[in-house]
Amino acid sequence: MLIDAGIGPRVAGKRLAALGANLAEVSCILLTHLDADHCRREWKAWVVRHGVRLFCHQERRHDLARGDAELLTHIRTFHDRPFEPMPGITVDPLRFSHDQEGSHGFVIDVGAARLGYATDLGQVPRLLIDRFCGLNILAIESNYEPELQLQSARPEFLKRRIMGGRGHLSNQQAFAALRSVFDHADARDMPYPEHVVLLHRSRHCNCPHRVRALFSQDARIAPCLTLAEQDHHTAWLGTSPAPSRRAGQQLRFAFA
């Protein structure tokens, strides 16, 4: 299963091959929203040709199909409650305030491990702090550094969109959200995530050195930190199952 399809099938295939996987193994794609950097048009012919199921929120079904009757038969929708895109995988969607149409994050439960995925948030809702406790892998956007954003050559309307509460999370907002999640885990005597993955970093308005310096200020976060990159895949991130669940199985996730 892929989360989002912001790079084309050819590039995705090369990155999967580098991980020892194959694009032909993909049976469904789960979309957070329909912005072009999350849902490229090139995937639509591939989805139809290979019979892949394409999941989006019910409100965006016809926007995704755009009158393509053949594609419409491959689209499956989710609402605001848990659903199963594949046997044994439960996805619980979280609605975010991104631009006019909004976006969705997910808590994905595969029985032996749980992944939280949140990008294009705009702002951090309280429910995210609650729902992102008890995860094996926590992936959240850390899109921009405010100083670099303000100094950039981007037009003012775009800066306002990104920073106005319905665009993206800054490094500081993402860091505050993570600290709240870890504080919540402490209060509930719950384990920390094995991995924290920072997503969707701007090429022009962020800096990986600044990101690492900021997030490493919390000794709980620093040891498990991974920065996802736009230009290449991460290594597989393995999770160890709880002793009471499917002993011996290790699950693996990768980010691009």
| Of 58, 79, 100, the domain-final residue | 79
Average pLDDT over residues 191-206: 96
69 lies in some domain: yes
Instruction: Identify whether residues 127 and 199 lie together within a single domain.
Output: yes
Q: Whole-number mean pLDDT of the chain?
A: 92
Overall average pLDDT of the 223-232 stretch: 94
Q: Are residues 72 and 114 in the same domain?
A: no
Helix (H, G, I), strand (E, B) or coil at 143: coil
Nearest to residue 24, comparing CAs of 52, 5, 65, 53?
52
Mean predicted confidence (pLDDT) in 214-240: 93
Residue 105 lies in a domain: no
Same domain, 35 and 121: no
For 210-228, what is the mean pLDDT? 97
CB 136 within 8 A of CB 99: no
Tell me the pLDDT band of 101, cut-offs 50, 70 and 90: confident
Q: Indicate the residue among 59, 79, 99 that finishes a domain.
A: 79
- In this structure, the answer to whether residues 120 and 6 fall within a common structural domain is no
- 62 and 116, same structural domain? no
- Residue 103 within a domain: no
pLDDT of residue 251: 67
Q: Is residue 88 part of a domain?
A: no
Residue 181 belongs to what domain range? 110-256
**Which of the four pLDDT bands, split at 50, 70 and 90, describes residue 241?**
low
Total domain count, the chain:
2
| In a shared domain, residues 141 and 229 | yes
For residue 168, what pLDDT band results from cuts at 50, 70 and 90? very high
What is this structure's pTM?
Answer: 0.93
